[in-house]
Amino acid sequence: MNDWIIETKALSKRYKGRYAVSNLNLKIAKGDIYGFLGPNGAGKTTTIRMLLGLIKPSSGSVHIFGQPLSKERISILSRIGSLVEYPSYYGHLSAIDNLEAIRKIIGAPAARIAEVLDIVGLAKEARRPVKGFSLGMKQRLGIASALLGNPELLLLDEPTNGLDPSGILEIRELIKEMPKQHGITVLISSHLLSEVELTAGTVGIIRQGELVFQDTIHNLHQQAQGSMSLVVSNPEAALAMMRQNGVTAMQKGAALLLEQTDDHAVARIVKNLVERDHAIYRVEEKRKSLEELFLQIVGEGVQP
């Protein structure tokens, strides 16, 4: 049996006749960093709000820690930390005082404040008024507040949005530590493929409310395999010979584009061409970038 921390089945949310989220089947494993990727307006925040019980689904189910959210909401939420959109604080108060206000509400031990400030790297800034914090520091403080209850699951909605490169790096490294150092499973939403690629082990891609890809980052890379380009002396004759041998290829100028990228298959093709007196000027792989693949998936949809 799979140890899913989050599992949704046909989860949907409808507003005035339009589906913001439709038939979503998320599966997030314990100890994973799950990148929830999609363009702005694709349904990421709506999904996270349903996972937190902030809005009620129109249909479908949510199970977290193996329990139905509809029946065990209070006990489930006590084990979750979240940061949805931009955190807000009392600007004139220090980081410690802001966290103290939250701590009293959730009933966390007082010693936990120092612990979470150390985790997010704000221990030295603990007594500074928050109004003097950079946006990156405020986001780290938001993550600190999400960690106060010592959660098993962390839901972060666009945590690097609006940050400069140094702020993005700080948040990225902080998130990557969560499963390894603190045993926390993380769901992070983003519209930036580069961030998800550098942070997550598994990715789910949502487009217009529908999940169009869900697999490991490794398998997403495999989907990005492209074609092999051969520049030859007589492309027309070489193409005819290859087709006679059952090789799928197309001509683009002096180059022949092959669907096969397997080393052994390409080696056999090159050997056959050379034996037929074709000069091979160049052999190179034309690989799609992950950005190109992401745009293809979001634009057209690819079966997981």
DSSP state letters, 28-81: EETT-EEEEE--TTSSHHHHHHHHTTSS--SEEEEEETTEETTTSHHHHHTTEE
Under the banding of pLDDT at 50, 70 and 90, the label for residue 5 is very high
| Cα angle value 207/6/302 (rounded, 5°) | 30
pLDDT digits (tens, 9 = 90+) for 23-64: 999 999 999 999 999 988 999 999 999 999 999 999 999 999
Spatial CA neighbour of 186 closest among 74, 29, 63, 50: 29
Q: How does the average pLDDT of the chain come out, rounded?
A: 90
Under the banding of pLDDT at 50, 70 and 90, the label for residue 225 is low
Under the banding of pLDDT at 50, 70 and 90, the label for residue 261 is low
What average pLDDT score do residues 261-289 get?
A: 85
- Flag whether pLDDT at 141 surpasses 70: yes
pLDDT digits (tens, 9 = 90+) for 72-111: 999 999 999 999 877 889 999 999 999 999 999 999 999 9
Radius of gyration of the chain (CA): 25
At 220 the pLDDT is 84
Domains of the chain (ranges; CATH) run 4-222 (3.40.50.300), 226-287 (3.30.70)
Instruction: Name, of 48-57, 86-95, 190-199, 283-292, the range with top average pLDDT.
Output: 48-57
